[in-house]
Structure 1
């Protein structure tokens, strides 16, 4: 994504206290970018209506073009939080109405722009909430390129659009992963499964490095399915968005194969975590990629023995 340097006056904001982030960053060559701590924008995706775009007011940078609700990050503010805040301030996007799917970062060294793609989980109508918008609207994915786009968003859109087609799903063989850590799990299988599920829940909330999934971008919020069986069905299940715990009524392996096959049939990019060679062969035949237990454990740096 390439974002040309902004004009000399910078984005206009309503009068009131300014955050230290509302300032210019200047490169050695004299280019200037708005947002001392970087900037972020929200690509909200509604399964029925398309993506939410903002028609920029004339006095803004590249006024008259269409782009994403977004702006400068505040001091100490995470990029995802910034994108959601700006979308709320500029487009009235309600809190809790979207769930992040992936994050893509343009890093120029002295300045970053983060695009947070998020799926609408609670439908809403956008509302012009500040002077920076001429209008707001849902635009079909196939129609976006028909609009006069902000150059930065226009350059990024082909890659973003391709990423919107991808639905990563990670299915975890909990018994196998728990058994890969010699921490006394055999004395309390339910407790060991609980510890793993809480750490997997944390990963679901934080997102997975794109490189680990073999995907473009920076971070993906994959759907995670953890399959438990036997005594582990009594495990404590964390409240983590994006994590589904499935209790196998009979064979855990059969449940995993069925889940992998169903997800692959829906076109999802399926990764199954197991070090069981026989199970790995079965899910590979169903269209899944496989990784051993160590792959997942390496993504969970706080996985420690009790």
Structure 2
């Protein structure tokens, strides 16, 4: 079995809320030394064929991927799916249902922004959307920067679109058990994405990991773009405690917005089972 040290199994293209085409992401991953790659667009698998083809062109081993939005403890949590059959009908239907509420939510966001004097936000956000079914807060943030309301996207999320600020509209996503089941039934492995981002209490986090494991989840992102070095250690310990494999991914969205580039993360800590070891049969080899 090939040994993959520089695996990047979490990034986004214009098919969801990234700014690069799948082909450009594959080229960037290859240039940055990535050996095993996955495109994980939000609640969408429409870019998988293009990504797999681009990976072959650039000599990258490839795993299918997606990132599913779920609601857990009144918080949006992301579950990455890896190595599934991209033609699976039940997975596609589940993702379509999850995407379904985004337009209504986006119009509510625009209405709230209009109430504080920011008009035309829905139409402005649409200019940044590659896939209208996946309009999100990120697209509104890009509009607010382009229109001069904020200097950059971190300022947007300090002043708008987050709980307690103008433009915040909660959305109920898929259930945790449903997301894990869709991934498993399509032949893939479910992964808790960037767990440190959720700011759960210790009790809530333990409940998330416990329920995830009960539903058949098998891995957690230990090394990811939003984790600190101390959090790598914390979630390596959580992986061991819950018997989960470890994943690694930059969560790259854009050359202009992402703090961590494709392939730029440190390697996984020792003593863990890399998630790709469990997916050996599902890896599309580099040509």
TM-score tier (shorter):
under 0.3
Pick 1 or 2: higher relative contact order, CA cutoff 8 A, min separation 6.
2
Structure with greater helix percent: 2
TM-score norm. by structure 2 comes to: 0.23
TM-score norm. by structure 1 comes to: 0.22
Structure with greater strand percent: 1
